[in-house]
């Protein structure tokens, strides 16, 4: 730990959309504090938030401002904020962190002169070094894992070895424990990186190709220690943000058993959600997790079309996807998933196959199926596969992906026509969000304060969702004449 004193009111300010309850800035702040540097989290989730930030930062006078970009849709807001912060003061170092800039730092440093650097390596390893240099007035340009201008963009090799997750301090939660329907909830992470290679996946491309860090797990005692401390602060709902909650074989059964045993031993009565792939849905393992509080599974299903699964390098089959939904339905676990209905190689036939697949599995689906365009991020394998490769293609300010046209003109036309439908579905008060909230209400009640009405309410909700999903399929059929049904 550094033992330093300086006059700054706060050495580092980390800007992130804190309302998302994600962990990146929270991990970064924890690592900075562990290194003896003062660090403060500041929320920015909209242009209005960004407008109020310069005055706040002037009051704090940090040496380093970290803009932690969670999602592409805030790209314009964060780059606009960087420009404004630069024009108002030259005193602070402005850096941008997140998988999107880390995979394509040259683009960001070239198009946004306000930025001094981009964090490419694991931020918890990069930022304490960078902040310490800045506070000491020392040269920062050789900090490992940093991209900077010289005037050409240079990317320093990442810090090595990769971080041991058990040595990381717990994420900072200065803003308290958020509540949903009177239940405290928190996002947690038991592992980092994914061991699969889907071609569109931004976080995995970032870790694999830029950070160079392997898949890592926290030990069960280390993970459950943090959960227990959060439990003492009132958290009962844990949202696991691991790309894959289940580790690869042969670790899987042992990990699940150890986790469940530890929760039982500590008498923690909790609810939790996980993310996993269709080919990881194993009834025995999920039942064991369900016994200790698993209520909901975010399933990386993506598609019910064999050509699309192949194109996206998902490594699963349509049969496995359908079987996963059937297993989750049988277990009574609520499954959420999305359908990547459009991608650069979509044809009318691939779209029709998605609709056919969904029509088949709809009775097994308890939540609103959300339809998405596959975002193509620069630096991902999907981007490399685009022909012609749009090396200098514009970035879409609404999602941070490169702008592409679907090769099949009829599908491109369909994509444009479908956009308002998809946007309505994804709106904050859209059907998907309302059903998500309704399920959380019900599942938390079932877990913590069951009533005789729970089963009836669940059945009614499922019926409403079935009607909503069926109506959406009708919309697709109307948009796409000739689709069976």
- Minimum CB distance to ligand SF4 smaller for 381 or for 430: 381
Near ligand SF4 by CB under 6 A: residue from 277, 343, 383, 447: 277
Tell me which of 16, 49, 116, 243 binds ligand SF4, using CB under 6 A: 243
Binding region for ligand SF4 (CB under 6 A) out of 20-28, 118-126, 191-199, 436-444: 191-199
Please say which residue, 131 or 201, places its beta carbon nearer to ligand SF4. 201
Asked if 198 touches ligand SF4 (CB under 6 A), the answer is yes
Return the range that interacts with ligand SF4 (CB under 6 A); candidates 42-50, 161-169, 181-189, 192-200.
Answer: 192-200
Buried b (16+ CB within 10 A) or exposed e, 269-285: ebbbbbbbbbbbbbeeb
Under the criterion CB under 6 A, does residue 116 sit at the interface with ligand SF4? no
What are the DSSP calls for 229-291, one per residue?
A: HHHHTTEEEEEE--S-SSPPTTSHHHHHHHHHHHHHHTT---EEEEEEEGGG--HHHHHHHHH
Helices 123-136 and 24-34, packing angle to 10 deg: 50
Cβ at position 279, least distance to ligand SF4 in Å: 9
Q: Whole-number minimum distance, CB 353 to ligand SF4, in Å? A: 20
Shortest distance, position 201 Cβ to ligand SF4, whole Å: 3
Count of residues that interact with ligand SF4, criterion CB under 6 A: 10
Applying CB under 6 A, does 201 fall inside the site for ligand SF4? yes
Nearer to ligand SF4 (CB atom), residue 200 or residue 259: 200
Using the rule CB under 6 A, is 196 a contact of ligand SF4?
Answer: yes
Q: Does 103 bind ligand SF4 (CB under 6 A)?
A: no
Cβ-based nearer residue to ligand SF4, 206 or 218: 206
Question: Does residue 382 belong to the site contacting ligand SF4 (CB under 6 A)?
Answer: no
Q: How many residues does the chain have?
A: 485
Residue with Cβ nearer ligand SF4 (228 or 307): 307
User: Considering the rule CB under 6 A, would residue 276 count as an interface residue with ligand SF4?
Assistant: no
Question: Closest by alpha carbon to 41, among 57, 58, 52?
Answer: 57
The 10 Å Cβ neighbour count of residue 430 is 16
Pick one of 41, 85, 126, 204: the residue that binds ligand SF4 (CB under 6 A). Answer: 204
| Least gap, CB of 381 to ligand SF4 (angstroms) | 10
**What single DSSP character describes residue 134?**
H
**Phi, psi torsion values for 199, nearest 5 degrees:** -70, -20
Query: Which one among 72, 190, 300, 304 touches ligand SF4, defined by CB under 6 A?
Result: 300
Q: Are the beta carbons of 189 and 244 closer than 8 angstroms? A: no
* Least distance between ligand SF4 and beta carbon 244 (Å): 6
Fill in the DSSP letter of residue 207: I
Residue 200 CA to residue 302 CA, distance in Å, equals: 11
* Nearer to ligand SF4 (CB atom), residue 117 or residue 244: 244
Which tokens hold the place of 308? 């699309």
Q: Does 339 bind ligand SF4 (CB under 6 A)?
A: no
Tell me how far apart the alpha carbons of residues 317 and 334 are, in angstroms, rounded to a whole number. Answer: 21
- Identify how many contiguous H helices and E strands the chain contains and give both numbers: 17, 17
Site for ligand SF4 contains 194 (CB under 6 A):
yes
Give φ, ψ of 132 to 5 degrees. -60, -40
Residues in CB range of 2: below 8 A, 6 or more apart: 35, 36, 37, 132
Task: Assess 343 for contact with ligand SF4 (CB under 6 A).
Answer: no
Whichever of 312 and 444 has its CB closer to ligand SF4, that residue is: 312
- Count the alpha carbons within 13 Å of 248 in the hemisphere toward its beta carbon: 8
Which tokens is 80 given?
């606009």
Q: How far apart, in Å, are the Cα atoms of 91 and each of 8, 85, 114, 127, 176?
A: 12, 10, 12, 18, 31
Of the pair 62, 99, the CB lying nearest ligand SF4 is at 99
Binding range to ligand SF4, per CB under 6 A, among 6-14, 55-63, 194-202, 412-420: 194-202
Contact at 8 Å (CB) between 151 and 109? no
Tell me whether residue 198 or residue 295 sits nearer to ligand SF4 (CB atom): 198
| Site residues (vs ligand SF4, CB under 6 A) | 194, 196-198, 201, 204, 243-244, 277, 300
């Amino acid at each position: 730990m550094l033992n330093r004193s300086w006059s700054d009111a706060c050495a580092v300010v980390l800007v992130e959309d804190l309302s998302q309850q994600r962990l990146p800035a929270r991990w970064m702040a924890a690592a900075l504090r562990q290194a003896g540097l003062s660090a403060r989290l500041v929320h920015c989730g909209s242009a209005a938030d960004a407008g109020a930030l310069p005055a706040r930062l002037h009051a704090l006078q940090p040496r380093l401002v970290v803009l932690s970009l969670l999602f592409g849709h805030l790209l314009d807001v964060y780059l606009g904020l960087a420009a404004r912060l630069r024009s108002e003061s030259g005193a602070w170092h402005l850096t941008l962190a997140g998988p999107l800039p880390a995979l394509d730092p040259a683009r960001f440093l070239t198009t946004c002169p306000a930025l001094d650097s981009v964090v490419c390596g694991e931020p918890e390893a990069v930022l304490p070094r960078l902040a310490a240099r800045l506070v000491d007035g020392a040269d920062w340009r050789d900090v490992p894992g940093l991209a900077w201008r010289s005037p050409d963009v240079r990317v320093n090799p990442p810090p090595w070895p990769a971080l041991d997750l058990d040595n990381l301090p717990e994420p900072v939660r200065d803003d308290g424990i958020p509540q949903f329907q009177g239940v405290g909830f928190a996002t947690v992470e038991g592992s980092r990186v994914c061991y699969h290679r889907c071609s569109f996946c931004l976080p995995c491309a970032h870790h694999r190709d830029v950070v160079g860090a392997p898949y890592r797990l926290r030990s069960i005692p280390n993970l459950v220690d943090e959960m227990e401390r959060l439990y003492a602060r009132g958290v009962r709902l844990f949202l696991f943000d691991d790309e894959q909650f289940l580790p690869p074989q042969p670790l899987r059964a042992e990990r699940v058993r150890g986790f469940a045993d530890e929760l039982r031993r500590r008498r923690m009565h909790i609810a939790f959600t996980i993310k996993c792939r269709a080919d990881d849905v194993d009834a025995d393992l999920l039942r064991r997790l369900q016994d200790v509080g698993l209520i909901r599974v975010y399933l990386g299903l993506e598609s019910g079309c064999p050509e699309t699964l192949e194109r996206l390098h998902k490594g699963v089959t349509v049969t496995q996807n359908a079987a996963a939904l059937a297993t989750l339905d049988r277990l009574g676990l609520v499954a959420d998933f999305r359908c990547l209905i459009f991608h650069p190689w979509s044809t009318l036939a691939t779209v029709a196959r998605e609709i056919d697949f969904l029509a088949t599995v709809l009775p097994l689906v308890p939540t609103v199926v959300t339809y998405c365009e596959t975002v193509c991020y620069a630096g991902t394998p999907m981007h490399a596969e685009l022909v012609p490769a749009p090396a200098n293609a514009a970035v879409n300010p609404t999602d941070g992906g490169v702008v592409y046209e679907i090769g099949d003109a009829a599908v491109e036309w369909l994509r444009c026509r479908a956009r308002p439908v998809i946007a309505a579905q994804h709106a904050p008060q859209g059907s998907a969000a309302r059903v998500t909230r309704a399920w959380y209400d019900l599942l938390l009640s079932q877990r913590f304060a069951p009533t005789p009405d729970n089963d009836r309410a669940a059945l009614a909700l499922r019926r409403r969702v079935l009607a909503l999903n069926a109506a959406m399929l009708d919309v697709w059929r109307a948009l796409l004449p000739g689709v069976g049904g």
